Amino acid sequence: MEQLKQRSSGTDWTVEEECDLCRITYSIYSNFPPMPSAQALNAETGEFFPFDRVRELKSGYAMAEELGYAWACNCRGRAPKRFNEQFELRDCSGKRQAGLRYRIRVGSRVIAKGITDSEGRTQRVSTDNANQVSIEVTGQ
pLDDT in tens, 105-124: 887 888 889 999 999 999 98
Please write the tens of the pLDDT for every residue from 89-107: 988 898 999 999 999 888 7
**Are the C-beta atoms of residues 57 and 13 closer than 8 Å to each other?**
no
Give the domain ranges of the chain: 15-72, 83-139
**Are the C-beta atoms of residues 43 and 67 closer than 8 Å to each other?**
yes
Integer Cα distance of 12 and 25 in angstroms:
18
Query: Dmax over Cα atoms in the chain, in whole Å?
Result: 57
Question: Residue 18: its pLDDT value, please?
Answer: 73
Specify the pTM.
0.48
**Are the C-beta atoms of residues 86 and 29 closer than 8 Å to each other?**
no
